[in-house]
Amino acid sequence: MSTPFQRIVPVIACTLLLGGCANEKPTGTTSDRGDAFVAAVDVTYSTQGVRQTYLPDLVAVTDRAAAARAPFYADAFDGNPAAHIRWRVQGDFARRPPAVYDGNESLTQQYLAARARELRPQLRELLATRPTRSGSPLGELLQSISGLCAQQRTAGRHCRAYVFTDGVFIGDGFDARRPVRQRALQQFVDRWATRLSGLRGAEVSFVGVGYGTTVPPRALETSRRGAQALIAAAGAEMKDWNVRLAPEDGAA
CA quadruple 51, 57, 63, 64: dihedral sign: negative
160 bridge partner residues: 37, 203
**CA-CA distance, 243 to 160, in Å (whole number)?**
18
Q: Are 88 and 39 in contact, with CB atoms under 8 Å apart?
A: no
Q: Which of helix, strand or coil describes residue 15?
A: helix
Tell me what pLDDT residue 212 has: 85
Per residue in 176-204, pLDDT tens?
999 999 999 999 999 999 999 999 999 99
Tell me what pLDDT residue 250 has: 60
**CA-CA distance, 240 to 227, in Å (whole number)?**
11
The residue type found at 199 is L
Tell me what pLDDT residue 214 has: 84
| Residues whose CB falls within 8 Å of the CB of residue 164, separated by 6 or more in sequence, listed in order | 39, 40, 41, 42, 51, 54, 57, 58, 207, 208
Domain boundaries, the chain: 36-242
Tell me what pLDDT residue 32 has: 61
**Mutual angle of helices 182-193 and 217-233, in 10-degree steps:** 40
Tell me what pLDDT residue 74 has: 99
Residue among 229, 211, 224, 202 at smallest CA distance from 36: 202
Does domain 36-242 fall under CATH 3.40.50? My reply is yes
Tell me what pLDDT residue 251 has: 61
Tell me what pLDDT residue 30 has: 44
**CA-CA distance, 29 to 119, in Å (whole number)?**
30
Residues of the chain with pLDDT under 70: 1-32, 250-252
Vertex 216 angle, CA 213 and 220, to 5°: 75
Tell me what pLDDT residue 51 has: 93
Percent of the chain with pLDDT over 70: 86
Per residue in 29-60, pLDDT tens?
444 679 999 999 999 999 999 999 999 999 99
